[in-house]
Structure 1
């Protein structure tokens, strides 16, 4: 009986092959399953590791988005109230573009601080606070790119400082950059004048973990839509309120001459 029992635990040769029976077969199957589990865990670990590396690389390499828009509309000037004269009154021009006094304050002769409306980007909502400088340039000196040197007067808009409120626990200030450049000028051809301008917004930031997993094409589409709305809003104010204020400027100048 003991020999029979022992025979269950040792290999037996039959027809030139080794057969495992009893405990040895079960143990071998268990070991195979264990090795399979280890292999699965290793694959999962490698996959997770690659995902973490990809996210880390995305966070280290900032994503950059930009939007640019131009305006070109008829400009009706009068001899005693040229658009050049109007641009020289920078506080008036600023007020025409940013009429909400509650969200702006003048810092010096050329700079204003603006609390912009909230910007929503996927899961994030931010409240930008920017310092904008308005500076007049003439005689072709230091004109912005794409502005002809024969233009008599150019108003340049540049953001000199920014702060993003609402991202304290998401992004460090060093992980975000914001650039806004614009120009506004009268382009005269014979007796006709046109108001021309350009505005460009660039943002660059290291992706926080909550955005790193969002596909790049989705992020690109949303970012471009957000920036496009911002520049179109600026363009609407130039085409609307700025020209309306210039008309008021001409009317007052005309009344003073009478």
Structure 2
């Protein structure tokens, strides 16, 4: 076990102002200045190494499903709609200024900022959309007799907005999802699943935060992300599918 050592810096007298405000260029003075003695502990490199050596990897995950009625028309099935992956992507991520198409299957997305404890991070992800059929290579949990499945997964990620001291090491982000029409019952239903996993080693500046606090905040952030995705599927995606049906009907009438 590594030895933990620290250095005590000599105490020094300083002025502490109750309710004082910090501003660029110094302190803003207020009435009621009270002199206090302050002692500071400076960690040596051995101490920092010991703390880093004791940090355990953190793992957080969140999973959400959707199951809602899906109304198809004879000339416009949901299978046909899924064939246009670019349209499906734009329905789920409508803000064009924050997305960029990389190739036939992948898009780069600059996500909205995420607040984690006292840090703000801007995730940038590359998402791949693939259509699968005939039961070949379906994600776990998807019945093999489903006619067509849209599979979503993240192929690359980057965390922007963090300085080097706050960057987690060994960061891994996993996002997997599937969306498909289920016609096995009396009525067709749109079903989907989305799972998000994050694994990382905390930087020393966050390592002293209690695990229950970190977990509560991290799971809350993940839950908001997956619920936001579900809201987009249940709302904007179905709305765009209705527009797709109207377009197909006009084509058939002409």
1:82-121 correspondence runs (5 A): 82-121=77-116
Taking structure 1 as reference, are residues 196 and 84 closer, same or farther at Cα in structure 2, changes over 3 Å only?
Answer: same
Question: CA distance change for structure 1 residues 233 and 144 in 2, over 3 Å: closer, same or farther?
Answer: same
Q: Do the aligned residues in 1 keep the contact of 2:168 with 2:201 (CA within 8 Å)?
A: no
Q: Give the alignment's TM-score, normalised by structure 2.
A: 0.78
Match of 2:144 among 149, 152, 158: 149
| CA 1:200–1:162: 2 relative to 1, 3 Å | same
Equivalent-residue separation in structure 2 for 1:67 and 1:108 (angstroms): 29
Distance apart, 1:208 and its partner CA: 1.2
Corresponding residue of 1:186: 181
Post-superposition offset of 1:204: 0.9
State the alpha-carbon separation in 2 of the partners of residues 236 and 248 from structure 1. Answer: 18
Aligned-pair Cα RMSD in Å: 2.2
CA distance in 1, matches of 2:180, 2:128: 16
CA contact (8 A) 2:173 2:197 kept: yes
- Give the aligned partner of residue 56 of structure 1: 52
Q: Deviations over 1:72-120 (max 9, x none)?
A: 0000011110000000100000000000000001001110000000111
Q: For 2:206 and 2:102, locate their aligned partners in 1 and report how far apart those are by CA, in whole Å.
A: 35
Q: What displacement does 1:55 show? A: 3.5
Are the equivalent residues in 1 in contact too, given 2:182–2:190 (CA < 8 A)?
A: yes
Q: Is the 8 A contact 1:58 1:207 kept in 2?
A: no
Between the aligned partners of 1:173 and 1:87, the Cα distance in structure 2 is 37
Alignment of 1:221-240 (within 5 A): 221-240=216-235
The number of residue pairs the alignment matches comes to 212
Task: Name 2:28's counterpart in structure 1.
Answer: none
Q: Indicate if the aligned counterparts of 2:174 and 2:197 stay in contact, CA closer than 8 A.
A: yes
TM-superposition CA deviations, 1:47-90 (whole Å, max 9, x none): x9xx968732453x310100000000000011110000000100
> Alpha carbons of 1:81 and 1:99: their partners in 2 closer, same or farther (altered >3 Å)?
same
Distance in 1 of aligned mates of 2:50 and 2:119: 21
* Greater strand proportion: 2
Give the greater-gyration-radius structure (CA). Answer: 1
Distance 2:104 2:163 in 1: 31
Over 4 Å off, 4+ runs: 51-54, 171-174
What is the SS of the residue equivalent to 2:188? strand
Determine if contact 2:169/2:203 at 8 Å carries over to the other structure: no
Q: How far apart are 1:209 and its partner, in Å?
A: 1.7
**Equivalent pair of 1:133/1:158 in contact (CA under 8 Å):** yes
Equivalent position of 2:18 in the other structure: none
Q: Unmatched 5+ residue regions in structure 2?
A: 1-7, 9-43
Equivalent residue, structure 2, for 1:66: 61
For structure 1, list consecutive stretches of 5 or more residues without a partner in the other structure.
1-40, 42-47
